[in-house]
């Protein structure tokens, strides 16, 4: 794991909680359209993503979620992860996929074509609907 100091780790947790709250607020006001508008092209650094950074952000989010006041669905988890990774300069995308029969939909995070926050099986079993 990335060796973050206490101050840096505290800032990471603050950013994650802020993004969780931001998602809920925007979704309540503007729905998915508002969430989608929050992603602009070129928001990330084009350099390769650090695996340690990805692991640190995902681990920190997994530690925050049990204390969050409501259930955090996969789309919210993915949007928050990507927005925080982009703050740190990582090239990450939210991928929304689906399967028709039996119907299933899921959102996950990819960086450089790699699954970051979930099982890689979703990449092969679901059709990509959208990338943010």
pLDDT per residue over 20-54, tens digit each?
999 999 999 999 999 999 877 655 555 556 888 99
Q: Which pLDDT score, from 0 to 100, does residue 121 have?
A: 87
**∠ CA 27-72-113, rounded to 5°:** 90
Contact 90, 53 (CB under 8 A): yes
Predicted pLDDT at 41: 61
SS3 category, 94: strand
Residue 26 in tokens: 């925007």
11/38: higher pLDDT: 11
Amino acid 39: pLDDT? 79
* For range 112-129, the mean pLDDT: 90
Distance CA 94, CA 114 (A): 12
pLDDT digits (tens, 9 = 90+) for 62-105: 999 999 999 999 999 999 999 999 998 888 999 999 999 999 99
> Is the pTM for the entire model greater than 0.75?
yes
Residue 19: Cβ within 10 Å count? 21
């Amino acid at each position: 794991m990335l060796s973050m100091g206490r101050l840096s780790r505290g800032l990471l947790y603050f950013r994650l909680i802020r993004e969780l709250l931001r998602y809920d607020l925007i979704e309540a006001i503007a729905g998915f359209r508002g969430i989608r508008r929050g992603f602009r092209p070129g928001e990330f650094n084009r350099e390769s993503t650090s695996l340690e950074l990805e692991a640190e952000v995902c681990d920190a989010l997994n530690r925050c979620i049990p204390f969050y006041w409501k259930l955090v669905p996969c789309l919210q988890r993915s949007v928050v992860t990507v927005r925080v990774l982009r703050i740190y300069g990582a090239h990450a995308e939210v991928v929304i996929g689906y399967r028709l029969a039996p119907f299933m939909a899921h959102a996950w995070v990819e960086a450089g074509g790699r699954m970051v926050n979930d099982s890689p099986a979703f990449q092969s079993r679901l059709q990509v609907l959208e990338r943010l």
